[in-house]
Structure formats: structure tokens, C-alpha cells
A and B are shown apart, each in its own frame.
Chain A
Amino acid sequence: MFVTTARDLQFRWRRFLVAVLVTALVFGIALTFDGVNRAIKKEPGRLVDAFAADVWVVGEGASGPFTTSEVIPAATAAALNGAEGVEQADPIVVSRTTLNLDELEDVNLIGYVPGGLGTPDVVEGRNAEGPGEAVIGSGVPLEVGDTFELGDKEMEVVGQADGLRFFFGVSTILVPLADVQDVVFGGQPLAMAVAVLGEPENVPQGFKVLGNEDAETDLKRTTESGTSTINFVSLLLWLITAGIIGSVIFLAAIERIRDFAVLGAIGAPKREIVGSLVLEAVFLSTLAAVIAIPLAFIVALGLPFPAEITVIAILRLFGVAVVVGLLASLAGVRRALTTDPALAFGGA
């Protein structure tokens, strides 16, 4: 069986090579999409963790600290500080803006109290210490030392942090709360949420407390349709790969009908004939998966979103490849099983 499979692969290698390369490309795209999906799904958790808060105090009508448009007085934080169960409370503002660089760049804008909750871990430069200073997250096309305009203010990038993307891979800039209040609220002392370290026993009327999990779930909701679309497209891509491998195997099976008949006529058991086809399909599919791995990393480089291609995703790809191979071989197997060995007696 192995020899028959290996020899047939050698015999039809050009066709199989084309099928493997095309399948590898589709597998690679699917793997990249999986990586994008993984990164997008992890964004909310990472953002919430970055604030190192235990709970969030927001307006009663707000669904979460990062999605609400309901503003609250920034002084709420001061009221909470010193309240029972509260170690620290700092106001934050979450908004969107555009940076007028070579092209307009959409970014998330977070206003925080420098040194307070939400102060990012910088990997380059330093943290913002006062007005006019900003820290950028991954993906913002600026470097430490660059300046940009935020409303009518000129800001200087003093540090860079890792990650901090949200709302489907959109990069983030973090600036002192006062600067954001100037730009977004015309200088009014407002905020959108208060990050709290500790667990306040009571909050003022008109406010409510949300846990980190609530904040994360609320943020995930905003990308749900995007991740669902990626999942659906991924499923279509798996089906396409099954179609590619399946059609190649089916064509090979049609060409080999006489061979199947001969094998049956000379007493080869059906499991050998079928096994050879299945093995061929699984081999092609698995080989395509191997080639897909470097391709996925190359494809990911060209995407505007981050993609996290993990070992688990790669292992899962091999599992999918085996399933795709098995499914793809079904039509060919059916053809082989229904071939009458008496056909071998036909003329040339």
C-alpha cells in the first residue's frame, strides 16, 4: 500500500505539486486568519489587565469603561479615594482620534493619570510625566521623540509600550488625562470611568461597579461580528482546501479506474486500494500544512492587524489537514469501491 501510494505520488508529481502549493497557500491564509482571530480575541483581556485595576466605576447607563459615551465627573475618583475598601482610584477617558501624519491614522485615545492606574509599561523611552507628553502603543507609525498634533495641542512621544490595541487591532496613544479633557471635553473635568484598586463597599448614586470580566466581555462584544466573520471565512477556506485535494484525488481515481479493477482482479483486498487513496490524500494535505506554516508568517507580515500564530494553532492545522485529507478522499474512495474488477478484462 505504501509503495503504491509513493509511486503514484511520484508518477503524478506535477499535478500533486500544484495541488499542494495551492492548498498550502489556502491553509496559510487560514492559519493567518486564525492568528488574527486569536489576537483580536485577546485584545480586551490585555487592555483590561494593563490598567491593573480590580474594578471599574462607571455611570449607571454605561455598559463598560471602554465603550461608553456616558461621562462622569472626574472628581468621582477623588470621592472614591479614601472610601472604605478602596486603595486607589483614578479617572480615565477612552476616545478615538485621527493622527494627521503622511496619511490619516485612526487611533484609540486613552487619557490617564500619569503614575496612576493605567500607566503603561513602556519598552522604550519613559512614561508621560505631564501635559504635552504621550506614550504610543504598538502599530502607531511614530517613534520616541516624534511629535504630533492632538486637537490644537502639540504632543511629543516620550515612550513606547507593547500592544494596547483594541477595537479590532486599532493602535492606541496614551496621554495625560488633562490633555484628553482639553481635546475631548473642551477642558471640562470629566471622565468616562474610574479605575479602582480595591473593592469599594459603596458607590455614589448614579454609578455602578463593574468587574474586570464585565469590562472585558463588554469590549469583546464590539469585535464579535468581525471575529465571527473570520471564523466563517476560515471554515470556507478549510472547505476550499478539501475541494482542491478532493478534486485532485478524484481525478487521479478516475484515471486509475483500470488500475483499481486490475488490483481487484488479481486479488488485492479493497482495504489496500482504498487505503492507498486515503493515504495519498492525507499525505498531500499534511504536506500542504507543512508548507503553509512559513507562508502564514509571510502573509501575516502584510496584514494591518496583529496575528498570533501559536504552536497550538499549528498543531490544530495538522489535525485539520488530516480531516481535510480524509474528507477529500471520500469521492475517490467511493469511485474505487464501485469499480468492478471485471473491467480489467476490457481491451486497451
Chain B
Amino acid sequence: MPDITVRDLVIEYNSGGYAVRPIDGLNLDIKTGELVLLLGASGCGKTTLLSTMASLLTPTSGTIQVGDIEVTALSGKAKTLYRRDSVGIVFQAFNLIPSLTARENVMVPLRSAGRSRKEARDRADEVLESVALGERGHHRPGNLSGGQQQRVAIARALAMNPPLVAADEPTAHLDYIQVDGVIRILRELAAPGRAVIVATHDERLLPLADQVVELTPRAAPESRDPETVELAPGQVLFHQGDQGDLVYIVESGQVEILLEKADGGEELLNVIGPGGYFGELAPMFGLRRSATARAGDQPVVATGMTIRDFRARQAKSS
């Protein structure tokens, strides 16, 4: 099984009229047999990245290559075939069809691929057996525990023996006993010929991973010397969606705080003059910048500092 490469991936979408860019210039190399964790807090883009790798979302720019398939170049029916044959998806909420039995759920992708009923049934039994649910094939999802449902979902993902398994928060709805079984299966799945990518914020999975991709902006450094920035009129200090470490205090000039809209326009939120500050939320909560900061029509001088220094300064001034 060939490797997976992600190059300069940018994913931007419209959220309530504003442009949100959870993935901005991501590069990633995954080797066959690897278990890769996409780690990060809610909203950091884990599921978005997973959806894009599964060809459910189209990125703004960049490429994803799974073996010899350029996923980002697929369209229409080719996408459907790629999802059916090359990706096994394990969803956060299991997402089994409630009216079908466990075995029938596993048979769905097989039947869609044109396998005969008998072939599909035999293969479904085989994969259910591999997740230790051979005896539960005739049960409906409603009669299975959360862990069992997730194992059926894994079996469904494996039905076509895909080279890529993408799991979205596979432990989110499970108690610690059920988590154990699911984690073990996911680890075993990552074997030669197959890569497993797991989006999670569950750090219990960390020891199992061959590679961890941190999607949450790194924590701002606690100590760092304040830095002075000088901006020419109209120069951008940071863009909406950038990672941010520092809080800025305006020394001179005026800084415009803008929301970038999905249609390319912008909305002026605030104008910060001398003595005012901005950009404190991103370093404080480990978020991306929620707006763009740009110098007004005059040169700007501002001082950037860590949250700790900023707090100390505020305490001193009060």
C-alpha cells in the first residue's frame, strides 16, 4: 500500500457569512501501517481534515494523495468509488443504519460494490468475527452496547479492506471498558497495507500512535521578551485564522480589527488607538485569531507581549 501525502492543504469555509480557515497550509506524510492521531480541541479542524481525506469535503487549495489516487482531483462518481473502495470511515456517533442488523450494516458497502448476497454475507461475518462480534450479527444496533456498535462500525469500515481507515472520535461515546476494546482494534488495524487516521481529543490514545498531528495552535510561550512591531499604513499584523502567541498594545497610530467575510469582503469591528490592546483571546485560550488586525491609514507602533506579561502590566496599571 502506498503512502499518504498531504501538501499545502488549506480548508476554508463559510460560517455564518465569515470565512473560517481551520486548516491552513498543512503538510503531512503518513506511511502504510501507521496509526496517526489528529489531536486537538473541538473546532480545530480534525473532522474537517478527516472529511477532506475521505473526499467528503473539497479543500480550498493543496493536495491529498492516497497511494496513486489524487483525492483532491476526484469528482462525481470517482469520489463515490474512492470512498467505497479506498476509505473505511468510523464515525463518532457510530452511524449504523438502525433498521439493519449488524451483519446487514456491514454488507451495505459490499452490496453497493456489486458483491453477491452470499459473498457479502460471508465477508460481513468474517469482519464481524475479527472484531469479536461474530455472534451478534443478527442484532440490530439498538440491541447492542455502544462499544459493540462502534465495533460493528469498524467492521463496516473494514468490509472493503480499504487502504485507509479514518476514524472520527471513535471513543467519544464509550465508557472506559468499551474504549479498551475499540482502541486495541484500531491499533491492530494499522498494519502493512493500511494506514489508520484517528481524529480525537482523547489523549489516552497517544501512547498507541505512530504519529501525532497537533491541530490545536501550540500553547503560547509563558516567557518571551516583549517585541515592538512597526506597521506601515494598511499593513496587516495578523490574519483571521492565524495562530497567535502575543497580545498587542498600541503605542501610536490606529489598528483596525476586521472580520474577513466568506465572499471576500470585510467587516470593521473596532479601531484600537494608542493605549488600547487587542489579540488577547488567541493566546489566552489557545485559539486561532478570530479577526484580522491591520494598520489604519497612518503608521502604527505596537508592543507584543505574552499573556503573563500582559496580565502583570494590567495589574500594575490598575
Contacts and interface: CB of A to CB of B under 8 A. Distances in A.
Nearest to B85: A267
Nearest to A260: B97
A272 B112 contact: yes
B95 A267 contact: no
Contact of B109 (A267, A342, A345, A347): A267
B91 A344 contact: yes
The secondary structure that dominates the A interface is: helix
B173 interface: yes
A66 B83 CA distance: 75
Interface string A246-285: 0000000000001100111111110010000000000000
Interface-central residue, A7, A12, A266, by most chain B CB under 10 Å? A266
Interface residues of B, number: 37
B263 to A, nearest CB: 21
Given A11-B98, A342-B51, A347 B57 contact: no
Nearest to A1: B111
A73 interface: no
A346 interface: yes
A104 interface: no
A3 B108 CA distance: 10
A345 B100 contact: no
A12 B168 CA distance: 29
B80 interface: yes
A347 B95 CA distance: 9
B93 A267 contact: no
Contact of B99 (A7, A264, A272, A342): A7
A168 B62 CA distance: 77
B75 to A, nearest CB: 14
Contacts of A340: 56
B84 interface: yes
A288 to B, nearest CB: 21
A265 to B, nearest CB: 6
Interface of A: 3-4, 7-8, 10-12, 258-259, 262-269, 272, 340-342, 344-348
15 contacts: A3-B111, A4-B108, A7-B101, A7-B104, A10-B99, A12-B99, A265-B54, A266-B157, A267-B109, A267-B113, A268-B109, A272-B112, A345-B56, A345-B92, A347-B93
Which 7 pairs across A and B sit closest by C-beta, in order of nearness?
A267-B84, A11-B99, A348-B93, A267-B83, A7-B99, A342-B56, A262-B95
Interface of B: 47, 50-51, 54, 56-57, 77, 80-85, 89, 91-93, 95, 97-101, 104, 107-109, 111-113, 156-157, 160, 168-169, 172-173
